[in-house]
Amino acid sequence: MVRSLSARSVANLGIASALALFLGACGSFSLPSLSSSSPEPAPEPGVGPEMPASIRADEIVGRWGLASYQNPADRARTEAAAKGQCKQPYVIGAGTSGGVIMHLADQATPQELRLKGSPGGKNFIGPPGPAGGEQDREIVSFDGRVLITRFTDKDAATRYGNMVYVRCSPRA
């Protein structure tokens, strides 16, 4: 009889401990309020209407010599090298939805990308979505003749560097 009383006490103590743990875990879990007075949750950052870029798609459509650099001191030399690539130009085409046809990082097939603005005044080229997304490239500078971009993804930016596009003169 003593043994069964002891076993029952141990079992009750185990059940009480498990119940205490369960109720303790419930204290950190909250159910949503069904009242209408609770404030709406804030929208996710970066989600919202796309801002127009200050550069139009038709401004960058065309034939470009392409090269890249990592070190800013190499920019002038790289621009000259890009101009030399006009024998085999990189073609930025016009998209059917108002964007441009270009390659994403590590993609063999070009696709239509959008020009997007940002609240900070920066311009980006990338797939639909918030400006500055993982697959976007930032337009570092553009003067109508030279376009310099850099991928926002750190790995792609390290591999590709600053992409320099120099507009090829039209064929005579």
pLDDT tens across 75-100, in order? 999 999 999 999 999 999 999 999 99
- From 131, 123, 125, 129, select the one nearest 111 (Cα to Cα): 125
Q: Does some domain include residue 66?
A: yes
Encode pLDDT of 125-155 as tens digits. Answer: 999 999 999 999 999 999 999 999 999 999 9
Residue 30, domain member (yes or no): no
Q: Say if 4 falls within a structural domain.
A: no
Cα dist from 19 to 7, 11, 22, whole Å: 18, 12, 5
Confidence of residue 7 (pLDDT cuts 50, 70, 90): low
> What pTM, to 2 d.p., does this model score?
0.70
| 43-133-99-57 Cα dihedral, nearest 10 degrees | 110
Residue 129 belongs to domain spanning: 52-167
Q: In total, how many domains does the chain have?
A: 1
Classify residue 74: in a domain, yes or no: yes
- Give the Cα separation of 128 and 116 in Å (integer): 9
Structure tokens at 4: 């069964």
